Amino acid sequence: MNIMKRIAAIVTFAVITLLLQSCSAQTDKNPWTQQQLMKPADLAAVLNNPDAKQPIVFSIGPQAVIKNSTDIGPTGRSSNLDKFQAQLSKLPKDANIVIYCGCCPFSRCPNVRPAFNLLNEMGFKNQKLLNLAQNIKVDWIDKGYPLNQ
């Protein structure tokens, strides 16, 4: 009986360890930090303030919805990632850059990781990812934040 308890304890420990490693691996695959996530309300406030220093905003998803954003297209496609790299190559490394997709939550988005990885690889220092928890409609449009005309 004592051996059975030890085996159960070892199996339980192994399962918990694997689960923790899985959760850690999930977090590790995000190329951004929590500090690099930007709240939609914060970006909207900057875009609505003509006296504020305006960031360079790129849509790396299906459509450039946000005011003054440049449409790159879905960066899950290599041709659009190349287009993004060409745009970035014209900017100083300390440029204030905000990227967004908004097609779906980050956990399923095929566009945010390639684009953010590219920013990191190119040595940018002030990049942010717009934190659209659900999608562009719910987290931006429905809130009445500024749109491209």
Give the H/E segment covering residue 129: strand 126-130
Question: How far is it, in rounded angstroms, from Cα 135 to Cα 132?
Answer: 6
Across the range 85-110, mean pLDDT stands at 97
Question: CA angle 76-31-23, nearest 5°?
Answer: 105
pTM for this predicted structure: 0.80
Confidence of residue 27 (pLDDT cuts 50, 70, 90): very low
Residue type, 111: N
Q: pLDDT at residue 14 above 90?
A: no
Across the range 44-52, mean pLDDT stands at 97
Question: How far is it, in rounded angstroms, from Cα 60 to Cα 116?
Answer: 10
Question: CA angle 87-89-90, nearest 5°?
Answer: 75
Q: pLDDT at residue 85 above 60?
A: yes
Any idea how long the chain is? 149
Q: pLDDT at residue 18 above 80?
A: no
Give the H/E segment covering residue 71: strand 69-71
